[in-house]
Structure 1
Amino acid sequence: MLTRQDILLIIAALQFWAEEMDPEETHLLKIYSGDANVDQIWTSADIQRLRTQLNSAKLKYAVTNVGGTEFLTPELFSTPESAEQSHFSETGQIGTLILPEIKTRD
């Protein structure tokens, strides 16, 4: 389960990658991702876009079955603690939903 603190760490790591590494060097991405088959090029703009999306995203928490294929409760929770309180099943787990910022039309 991801928390806001986890997202902040990811945002900081992305900033470090953009500033200290060559984002377009696929060899480095293979090493640090642990996936020898990855062949993606990240531009500074890609990293900044992802950082912005993560920073503005809303986190919600849901209770699912162990396989993560079915919701055990119909509601989404604002905190992991509130999801845990509703966690009535020993076979359930709490998952994080990362929702985009809602842009309103003016």
Structure 2
Amino acid sequence: IALHYVFDTPNDRVVWDVGHQSYPHKILTGRRDRMSTLRQYGGISGFPRRAESEYDTFGTAHSSTSISAALGMALGARTRGEKRVGIAVIGDGAMTAGMA
């Protein structure tokens, strides 16, 4: 809730490090009524999925990619003169994986 309150989403880019971190985000961004279809054929994805919502800014595949993705989005925005930030949401497991 705090991320969506403090930042200007979806203009500001929230990047989730792993899919299960994004479940509350999916509820807050208009997909509450479809949560019962999570990870089912034809249902909503268990990961952030760009085609699913404008709030899903990065398609997570495996952990430890959120920092580099959010930084790349922020630097790209700065290069284009856009006022937006990149926010990396990363867990303790990814921080100890050696790639973050």
> Shorter chain as normaliser: what TM range?
under 0.3
**TM-score normalised according to structure 1 size:** 0.23
**TM-score normalised according to structure 2 size:** 0.24
- In terms of fraction of residues, the more strand-rich structure is 1
